[in-house]
Amino acid sequence: MTIQNYPSAFMHPFSHIPTLEQSGPVIVDRGEGIYIYDDRGRRYLEGNSGLWNVVLGFDNKRLIEAATQAYAKLPAYHAFFGRVAQSALDLSEKVIRLAPMKANRVLFANSGSEANDTVVKLLWLLAEQEGKPHRRILLSRRNAYHGMTIMTASLTGKDYVKSASGLPVYEVRHLTSPHHWREAKDGESETEFSGRLAWELEQTIRNTGPDHIAGFFAEPVLGAGGVIPPPEGYFQAIQPVLRKYGVPLIADEVICGFGRTGELWGSIKYGIEPDIVVASKVITSGFFPMGAIVLSEKMTERLERACRTYEELPTGFTTAAHPVGCAIALAAIGEIVEGGVLKNVQKVSPAFQKQLRAMQDHPMVGEARGVGLMGALEMVADKHSKTPFPGHLDVSERVSRQALANGLICRPLGAAVVLAPPFIITEPQIDELFSILRHTMDQVYAEVRAAAA
């Protein structure tokens, strides 16, 4: 059988080739609220907000209007050589006012990866200029996701990404993933586990040499690692260690930033006091590519002092701080903060979390975890021993394929299926989402049992 539109000239990033060979791509045609429609008119509830980003609906009129007006006024310009669009100035002011720490500068990029990558460059620039050129080691965690450039794929703690290209680069060290359910020792409480991870961090810093560490990257909630909220007391345990050795904390808020956890920032939710915050995705609700690096006052001062040697900041991207992107971001943040969307997240999250946790009784679910409007169901063959299903059964892939056939988009991430619906979702739509998901899981469970018999 020839599948229409596959293979085509298009190379599919992060896509499962055997599935494409079997069924071809899903051609996404249009969107409406929290739903998308394919080219055959089939409707899907977008349980992942696209890639965590399209939180304000696929037809948000205010954002479309902001983009239309911005295109009519100044459709493109750069921000080099001291030139800048007014919308970029306004957006920067807005972002520093809302930042989770005392911040006073924002530097823009075109994606989360570019923003994190630029942070590394800035940290290394500081090291050079502050007379500590060996201060280059970056700390991250296993299962973290920080992007796909060479450096950010190195920071990303997923083995299949790293091994595929011989990464990480040698400057990166990965610490234990803060996943209590998987990583804690028998009988170890969440607080004890957090304490052990803080001890591991301190040992790593001491063994590497505090003078060699440039920064510590952390998502407040590990997102693409399978939605892993920090264990009790985690950031409270590790922050004093970072402070003691003068290691900057970079909060990668690409997923958590602007409301996903129910607070405006994951940093607020978990009591994090970052030196640098990286935002992307939600900042434009996915309507325009953007990454933003938010600098604390202290970081700004150090960087601006360091840059005097060069007379200018030695980095930048042609389309970063794009006037249209900045206008869209202003409108998106306006919807979230003043327009009541964050309030909606806070209102509907308890219902979402309740339904998510109710899935724990399903025979395939080992752990149901999440916070705000994000959650994961980790599938196991044996709940007691937490033994995963054999890889060849592709259980999480099967769930997401079957869910698609049933009109729901959810994402397989390792052994887990992940949900992160748009912020505008209503309680009846949450019921719809979980009713499709439960039916789907029952179908897949029957299949898996038949395969095992």
Residues lying near ligand PLP in the complex (CB under 6 A): 51, 111-113, 116, 145-147, 219, 223-224, 252, 254-255, 280
Minimum distance, C-beta of residue 276 to ligand PLP, in the bound complex (Å)? 13
Choice between 174 and 302, CB closer to ligand PLP: 174
Residue given tokens 């293979």 in the structure block = 7
Q: How far is the CB of 380 from ligand PLP (least distance, A)?
A: 25
Output the smallest distance, CB 151 to ligand PLP, in A: 12
Please say which residue, 111 or 353, places its beta carbon nearer to ligand PLP: 111
Shortest distance, CB of residue 352 to ligand PLP, whole angstroms? 19
Of the candidates 203, 97, 393, 404, the one whose C-alpha atom is nearest the C-alpha of residue 106 is: 97
Structure tokens at 448: 């898996």
The runs of H, that is alpha helices, within 156-253 are 159-164, 180-183, 190-208, 234-244
Identity of the residue, 295 or 441, whose beta carbon is nearer to ligand PLP in the bound complex: 295
Could you tell me the smallest distance in angstroms from the CB atom of residue 46 to ligand PLP? Answer: 16
Amino acid letter for position 283: I
Helix (H) or strand (E) holding 437: helix 427-452
Contacts of 396 (CB under 8 A, 6+ apart): 379, 412, 413, 414, 415, 416, 417
Cβ–Cβ under 8 Å, residues 120 and 172: no
Which residues on neighbouring strands pair with residue 430, listed in sequence order? none
279 - beta bridge partners?
Answer: 292
| Nearer of residues 23 and 318 to ligand PLP, judged by Cβ | 318
Residue 217, by phi and psi: left (phi above 0), alpha (psi -120 to 50) or beta? beta
379: closest CA among 448, 296, 431?
448
Q: Where are the alpha helices (DSSP H) in 297-340?
A: 297-307, 323-333
Residue number with CB closer to ligand PLP (252 or 275) = 252
Distance CA 351, CA 74 (A): 43
Q: Which residue has the tokens 């965690």?
A: 141
CB of 219 to ligand PLP, least distance (A): 5
Output the residue with the shortest Cβ distance to ligand PLP. Answer: 112
- Residue 252 has φ and ψ, to the nearest 5°, of -85, 100
Residue 112 or 233 with smaller CB distance to ligand PLP? 112
Largest CA distance in the chain: 70
Please identify, using beta-carbon distances, which residue of 57 and 223 lies nearer to ligand PLP: 223
Q: How far is the CB of 321 from ligand PLP (least distance, A)?
A: 16
- Least distance in Å: CB of 210 to ligand PLP? 26
Dist CA 259 CA 371 (whole Å)? 11
Least distance in angstroms from the C-beta of 220 to ligand PLP: 9
Shortest Å distance, C-beta 42 to ligand PLP = 26
- Who's near 232: CB < 8 A, 6+ residues apart? 189, 190, 191, 194
Nearer to ligand PLP, 153 or 436 (CB): 153
- Contact (CB, 8 A) for 52 and 255: yes
- Token pair for 116: 């994190």
